């Protein structure tokens, strides 16, 4: 809120000069006296007040436009993130894809069908991501967090998921051949129709996994698995799994 206070008319210079005892102060006070008159005259100029109000109004208009265009800025940000992912498709390294995937997931954008094969994505954090039919073949996802993500029908063959947090992930009908799950947290994960052939499950936490619908587990290494559900190990060994420390 703009508040104006009326300025008092400056006293005559002769009166002020009469009170000055030291001569060397006179030029300084005269200079200040001149500007005091300028301030007094301008304070009564209505045009300057109008300009002040217009300046405040322009700030308000700017704020309104900033909020009204927020949707366009979000769309532009998402477009740039997808551009990073698609441009680096099929290439090794990260190429900014970790940040792009995390940003899109944080904005609840579906990542269905995304292709990040052979990418270096170590430490990726995309909990609750919608990654159905995505391709992570031969990608490095060590120490990543995909907690409660949807990876149904996804292709993760040869993916490195060591020590990753995969709790409650839906791997239904996913291609998990030759996946490295050693040390990973697979608690309550679902594997209906999944192919775990040649997968490395050593020291993985299998607490309460949904395993009865697994399509294939031949040559999967189940040595030292932690918290296997009742009946899982006998079934796995009977269907071709191995225990090689």
HEC profile of the chain? CCCCCCCCCCCCHHHHHHCCCCHHHHHHHHHHHHHHHHHHHHHCCHHHHHHHHHHHHHHHHHHHHHHHCHHHHHHHHHHHHHHHHHHCCCCCCCCCHHHHHHHHHHCCCCCCCCECCCCECCCCECCCCECCCCECCCCECCCCECCCCECCCCECCCCECCCCECCCCECCCCECCCCECCCCECCCCECCCCECCCCECCCCECCCCECCCCCECCCCECCCCECCCCCHHHHHHHCCCECCC
Residue 140's φ and ψ, nearest 5 degrees, are -100, 105
Task: Please report, in tens digits, the pLDDT of each residue of the chain (245 residues total).
Answer: 445 555 667 677 666 666 666 767 667 667 676 767 666 666 665 555 665 666 666 666 666 665 665 666 788 889 899 999 999 887 888 889 999 999 999 999 999 999 999 999 999 999 999 999 999 999 999 999 999 999 999 999 999 999 999 999 999 999 999 999 999 999 999 999 999 999 999 999 999 999 999 999 999 999 999 999 999 999 999 999 999 98
pLDDT at 36 (0 to 100) = 74
Domains of the chain (ranges; CATH) run: 13-68 (no CATH), 91-245 (2.160.20.80)
pTM of the model: 0.72
């Amino acid at each position: 809120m703009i508040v104006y206070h009326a300025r008092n008319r400056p006293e005559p210079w002769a009166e002020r000069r009469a009170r000055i005892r030291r001569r060397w102060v006179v030029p300084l006070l005269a200079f200040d006296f001149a500007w005091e008159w300028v301030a007094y005259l301008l304070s009564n100029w209505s045009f300057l007040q109008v300009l002040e109000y217009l300046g405040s109004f322009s700030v308000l208009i700017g704020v309104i436009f900033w909020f009204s265009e927020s949707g366009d800025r979000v769309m532009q940000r998402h477009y740039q993130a997808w551009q990073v992912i698609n441009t680096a498709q099929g290439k090794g390294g990260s190429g900014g894809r970790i940040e792009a995937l995390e940003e899109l997931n944080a904005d609840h954008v579906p990542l269905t069908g995304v292709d990040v094969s052979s990418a270096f994505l170590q430490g990726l954090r995309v909990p609750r991501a919608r990654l159905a039919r995505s391709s992570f073949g031969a990608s490095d996802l060590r120490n990543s967090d995909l907690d409660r993500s949807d990876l149904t029908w996804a292709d993760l063959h040869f993916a490195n998921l060591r020590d990753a947090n995969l709790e409650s992930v839906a791997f239904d009908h996913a291609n998990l051949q030759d996946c490295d799950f050693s040390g990973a947290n697979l608690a309550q994960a679902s594997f209906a129709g999944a192919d775990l052939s040649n997968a490395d499950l050593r020291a993985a936490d299998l607490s309460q996994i949904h395993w009865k619908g697994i399509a294939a587990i031949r040559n999967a290494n189940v040595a030292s698995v932690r918290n296997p559900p009742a009946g899982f190990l006998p079934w796995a060994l009977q269907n071709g799994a191995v225990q090689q420390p």
